[in-house]
Amino acid sequence: MILKYGVRLMRQGLFITFEGIDGCGKSLMAAMTQTWLVENGYEVLATLEPGGSDLGKVFRQMLLDSSYGSVDSHTETLLFMVDRSRHVTDVIRPALANGKIVLCDRYIDSTIAYQGGGRGLNIDELTRLNDFAINGVYPDLTIYLSLPIEQAMQRIPGTKDRLEQENVEFFARVAAAYDQLADQYPHRIQRIDASGSPQDVFALVQTAIGTLFKDRGRICHG
């Protein structure tokens, strides 16, 4: 599939996020999308949360490395928000202003799903924190990779970070929260069945991105 952008897109950039429970394959899909777009001649910035900025790299280790000990839910959430605010200010917003396509592995929906669904924190409060942290920088498209929990757990490598060590019940709550988000924001969140082969799943990702481009008045050649 070959994609062509109009001039307006190259001035304002495009923001695509990848979401889902641990083990769903979002990092792989983000990497495959980056390769695909770069091969077609587009400027792409691939980033992630936590850890997308210099300051965020410090927070990423604190948040995910279990050797730092336990972190309560409220502290965990606020650390994610500091990371996100700096990430948007230093990395995402400038890249979009320069007309780049930004691909982000996790963003605002992870907070609602993990800290809201998984940890049980108040969704409305988390939404307000998200809004404050991103200051208007919302994704144009969110790829939500939906996968049965048992299959996702089998994909997680032997060495697990602090969040990956949570139990099945935790991830069930996270997955349910993602499903609710997809139902609530169908204009932004594209739910994709991630149970197939990487090639089959990526074909669905390409279709979703192609649809976005068409909706924005761009040309998509398949």
Give me the CATH number covering residue 60.
3.40.50.300
Determine whether 64 is exposed, middle or buried from the number of CB atoms within 10 Å of its CB (0-12, 13-18, 19+).
Answer: middle
Which residues, including other chains, have CB under 8 Å from residue 100's CB and lie 6 or more apart?
13, 43, 44, 45
- Rounded Cα distance between 186 and 70, Å, is 35
Longest CA–CA span in the chain (Å) reads 51
Q: Which range (25-39, 82-96, 143-157, 186-200) has the least confidence?
A: 143-157
Section 170-192 average pLDDT: 95
- 178-184: Cβ within 8 A, 24+ apart: 178/19, 178/20, 178/21, 178/109, 178/113, 178/117, 178/144, 178/146, 179/146, 180/117, 181/109, 181/112, 181/113, 181/144, 182/144, 182/146
Which residues, including other chains, have CB under 8 Å from residue 143's CB and lie 6 or more apart?
16, 17, 18, 19, 26, 29, 190, 192, 205, 208
Asked whether the predicted pLDDT for residue 220 surpasses 50, the reply is no
Q: What is the span of the domain harbouring residue 84?
A: 2-221
Residues 24-66 pLDDT 10s: 999 999 999 999 999 988 899 999 998 887 776 676 666 665 5
Residues 94-144 pLDDT 10s: 999 999 999 999 999 999 999 999 999 999 999 999 999 999 999 999 999
- Report the domain count for the chain: 1
* Closest to 116 measured CA to CA, from 129, 103, 104, 105: 129
Mean pLDDT for the chain overall: 85
- Rounded Cα distance between 216 and 10, Å, is 12
- Rounded Cα distance between 167 and 69, Å, is 17
The type of residue at 187 is H
What is the model's pLDDT at position 8?
37
Q: Identify whether 50 is preceded by a cis peptide bond (ω within 30 of 0).
A: yes
Rounded to a whole number, what is the distance in angstroms from the first to the last CA of the chain?
4
User: Do the Cβ atoms of 209 and 16 come closer than 8 Å?
Assistant: yes
* Closest to 22 measured CA to CA, from 216, 155, 124: 155
What is the model's pLDDT at position 60?
63
Note the pTM of the prediction, 2 decimals.
Answer: 0.87
Kindly report the length of the chain: 222
